[in-house]
Amino acid sequence: MMRLVQDWIPQQRWFGGKGRTITSVEEDSATIILDADPQVRLLVVRVGYDDGTSEHYQLLLASTKDAVEQRLEHALLGEHEGRLVYDAVHDPVASSALLDHLAGGHQVETLSFVNDAPIDADLPGRVLGAEQSNTSLVYGDALILKVFRRLQPGANPDIEVTKALADAGSPHVATPLAWYDGRVDGEVTTLGLLQPFLRGSSDGWSMATASVRDLFGEADLHADEVGGDFAGESERLGAATGEVHGLMRQVLPSATAGADESQATARQLNERLDAALLVVPELAEHADAMRASYDVVATRTAAVEVQRVHGDYHLGQVLRTQEGWVLLDFEGEPARPLSERRALMSPLRDVAGMLRSFDYAAQHLLAEQTVRPDLIYRAEEWATRNRNAFCDGYAAAVGADPREEAVLLRAFELDKAVYETVYEARNRPSWLRVPLASIGRLVGEAA
Ligand SMILES: Nc1ncnc2c1ncn2[C@@H]1O[C@H](COP(=O)(O)OP(=O)(O)O)[C@@H](O)[C@H]1O
Ligand SMILES: [Mg+2]
C-alpha cells in the first residue's frame, strides 16, 4: 500500500516535498472511518527523503472490491490485495462519513471529532477545485471542511487563531464549527476544520486582478479613473487587517521586545537570503544591497511590538463577502516549523505580505508576455495606488501608519520577495522577473 502512496503523492498539489527524492513512506496511524464498500481509511503517513528529513501527511484512502465509477478514475492510486485504492476526498460517500462523525461528535479509535454547533450531516460533499496547500470539501454550499494535508505534531495555528478571534466576536473570520484531532508522532494534532462556507464571496486575488485587467482595457485612463478601481476595497481590507491584528494582540500572547529582537530578525532575514542564493543565482546581484537593508534593521534600538500574526498573508487568503473582508488560513507558511509559525513577531510581516501581493496582482497579466512599457507603467501605478490605500486603511484602524516603519517594512518586503524568487525558480521560471524587479525597486528606494 505504501508503495502506491509513494508513486502517487509527488503529483499532489499539496505535496511539499517536490524536487526531493522520497526514500520511504511509512504508516504513522490508520483509522477506518467508514467500514463498508468502499472502505475508507484516514491515514497519517511519514514521508522520508534522501536528505534525512521527513514530513507527515494526512491521506483519506478508499478501497473497493468493485470497479470504480468513471468519475473517480482520475483519483486512482492502483490495486492493493485485489482491491482498487483511490483518493477518497473525491468520493461523496467518504466526505459524508467525515461530516457524519463531526455532526455526531464521535470518537473513532484515536480520532476525536468535536463540534461547537449543530451540524447538518445530510449535506452532500464535493471537493473544492481551487486547491492550495490543503484539500477543502464543500457541503451543500453551506459548510467547508479543510483537510490539513501536511501535518506537524502539536497545536494547529489555523484553528487556534481563528477560534480565538471568532470567540472574541471578530466579524473578519469564518467561525470554527467543528474539527477533528488525531495523533501525529503521538501528539494530539488537529487534522480537519469545519467552517461556514461563505457563499457568493470573491477572493481578493480574483477581484484585484480583474481590476488590473479593466485598467489595461482602458488604455487612456489612470487607475483612479476606471470603473474597476480597487482602492476602496484595498482600504477596507487594510482596515480589516488592522482590526484583526489589534484583536489578536488582545486575545493571544503579545510582547514588547527590545533591540535583541531586531538583531534576531536581521539574522533570520540574512539566513533566508543565504539559503535562497543557493537556489536563485540571479539574487546575487542584489545581495549586498539587501544585506545593507537588513543591517539597518540590526542596528535599530527602538522597541518592537510583537504578537501572533497571520504568517502567510496575501490576496488569495482573503474573501470579500457582502458584509466585508474575511481573513482565512491562519496556518502560516506550511513549510516552516511550527515553533516559527507560532512565534511572536512584528505584524508588519503580514502588511509586507499583502503589499507584495498587490505587486503580484499588478504584474501577473504581464509576467508571461513580451514587455510593453505602457502597461508596465499602468501596472505600477495600480500597485502604488492600492498599496497606499491598504496602508491608509490599516493606519486608520490601528492608529499607526505602517509606512512610518519604512526600514522594517522594506526588510520584510525584501524577505517575502526573496521567498518568491525561490518559489518561481522552482515552479515558474518565466515569472522570476516579477519578484526580482520588486527587489530592484525596494533596494533602489532604500539607497
Ligand atoms: N469559509 C470559506 N468560504 C468560502 N470559500 C472558502 C472558505 N474557506 C476557504 N475558501 C476557499 O478555499 C480556498 C483555500 O482555503 P484556505 O483556507 O486558504 O486553504 P489552503 O490552506 O488550502 O490555502 C480559499 O482561497 C477560498 O477560495
Ligand atoms: Mg490559503
DSSP string, 264-284: HHHHHHHHHHHHHHHH-GGGH
| Cα 381-212-377 angle, rounded to 5 deg | 30
Q: The sheet that has 318-320: what strands, in order across it?
A: 202-203, 318-320, 325-327
What's residue 17's pLDDT? 85
Q: Which residue has the cell 477545485?
A: 129
Q: Distance, CA 132 to ligand 1 centroid (Å)?
A: 8
* Pairwise CA distance, residues 59 & 134, whole Å: 11
Average pLDDT over residues 216-236: 85
Which is the closest atom of ligand 1 to the Cα of 329? 17
In whole angstroms, give the CA distance from residue 13 to residue 439. 28
pLDDT digits (tens, 9 = 90+) for 32-42: 999 999 999 99
- Check pLDDT > 90 for residue 79: yes
pLDDT of residue 130: 65
- Ligand 2 center to residue 130 CA distance, Å? 10
pLDDT value of position 427: 83
Please check the confidence at residue 296 and state whether its pLDDT lies above 90.
yes
Assigned C-alpha cell, 268: 533570520
Q: pLDDT tens across 51-61, in order?
A: 999 999 999 99
Q: Which whole number is the average pLDDT over 71-96? A: 96
What does the pLDDT read at residue 224?
A: 80
Q: What is the pLDDT of residue 131?
A: 61
pLDDT grade, residue 263 (50/70/90)? very high
DSSP code, position 346: -
Torsions phi, psi of 146, nearest 5? -90, 120
Q: What is the average pLDDT across 384-403? A: 97
Residue nearest atom 26 of ligand 1, based on CA coordinates: 203
| 163-222 per-position pLDDT tens digit | 999 999 999 999 999 999 999 999 999 999 999 999 999 999 999 999 999 888 876 777
Across the range 308-320, mean pLDDT stands at 97
Ligand 1 mutation target, pool 131, 136, 319, most atoms within 8 A of CB: 136
What does pLDDT average to over the chain? 94
| pLDDT confidence of residue 132 | 76
Domains of the chain: 2-196 (no CATH), 202-446 (3.90.1200.10)
List Cβ neighbours of 233 (8 Å cut-off, separation of 6 or more): 204, 207, 320
What backbone torsions phi and psi does residue 277 show, to the nearest 5 degrees? -60, -30
Which residues have a Cβ under 8 Å from the Cβ of 408 and sit 6 or more positions away? 262, 265, 297, 300, 304, 346, 348
- Whether residue 139 has pLDDT greater than 70: yes
pLDDT of the residue at 447: 77
* Number of the ligand 1 atom closest to the C-alpha atom of 195: 1
Side-chain half-sphere CA neighbours of 150 within 13 A: 21
Confidence check: pLDDT of 141 > 80: yes
Work out the average pLDDT over 120-133: 88
Amino acid at 196: P
- Closest by Cα among 415, 360, 422, 347 to 387: 360
Give me the pLDDT at residue 94, please.
97
The candidate with the shortest Cα–Cα distance to 320, out of 263, 240, 395, is: 240
Cβ 124 vs Cβ 140: under 8 Å: yes
The answer to whether 372 touches 217, Cβ cutoff 8 Å, is no
Q: Does residue 252 come out as left (phi exceeding 0), alpha (psi in the -120 to 50 range) or beta?
A: beta
Ligand 1 atom at minimal distance to the Cα of residue 203: 27
| Cα-to-centroid distance, 64 and ligand 2 (Å) | 32
In this prediction, residue 143 has a pLDDT band, given cuts at 50, 70 and 90, of very high
- In percent, the amount of the chain with pLDDT more than 90 equals 85
The predicted pLDDT at position 324 comes to 98
Can you give the pLDDT at residue 220? 76
